[in-house]
Amino acid sequence: MDFNQALLRIATQAASAYISARSLSNPQTRPDTLAGLHLAESGAVPFLEALSQRATQEGDPWLAERLMRHAQDERRHGAIFAQALKRMGRDLIDFQPLRGGAQPRSPFFEKYFEGYSREQLQATHIDWVLMMAATHVLEADASKDFVRMARALPQGDPLQAGMYAIAADEGGHAHYLKEALVRRIGLRAAEEAIENYRVHKTQAILYMVSQMLQSGRLEGPKLTRTTTLAA
Ligand SMILES: [Fe+2]
Ligand SMILES: [Fe+2]
DSSP 100-142: SSPPPPPHHHHHHTTT--TGGGSTTT--HHHHHHHHHHHHHHH
What is the rounded CA–CA span in Å between residue 177 and residue 20?
24
Tell me: pLDDT of 225 over 90: no
Widest distance between CA atoms in the chain: 50
Q: How many CB atoms lie within 10 A of CB 118?
A: 11
Please indicate, yes or no, if residue 225 is contained in any of the structural domains: no
In a domain, 222, yes or no: no
Split into its structural domains, the chain has a count of 1
Ligand 1 centroid, distance to 170 Cα (angstroms): 6
In a domain, 220, yes or no: no
For residue 31, give its domain range.
Answer: 3-214
How many CA within 13 A on the CB side of residue 106?
A: 21
Q: Note the pLDDT of residue 219.
A: 53
Measured in angstroms, how far is the CA atom of residue 42 from the centroid of ligand 1? 8
**Average pLDDT over every residue of 15-24:** 86
Tell whether 81 is covered by a domain.
Answer: yes
What CATH number does residue 122 fall under? 1.20.1260
Q: Are 111 and 204 in contact (CB under 8 A)?
A: yes
Any domain includes 28: yes
Query: Is 226 a domain residue?
Result: no
Q: How far is the CA of 104 from the centre of ligand 2 (A)?
A: 22
- What whole-number distance in Å separates Cα of residue 98 and Cα of residue 129? 31
Phi and psi torsions of 51, nearest 5° = -65, -40
> 157-193: per-residue pLDDT in tens?
999 999 999 999 999 999 999 999 999 999 999 999 9
Listed residue (47, 66, 39) closest to 122, CA to CA? 47
pTM over cut 0.85? yes
Of the bound ligands, which one is closest to the alpha carbon of residue 70?
Answer: 2
Q: How far is the CA of 74 from the centre of ligand 2 (A)?
A: 6
84, part of any domain:
yes
Interval 38-63: pLDDT, tens: 999 999 999 999 999 999 999 999 99
Average model confidence (pLDDT) across the chain: 88
Integer angstrom CA distances of residue 84 from 51, 107, 126, 127, 160: 29, 27, 33, 35, 10
Question: Is residue 221 included in any domain, yes or no?
Answer: no
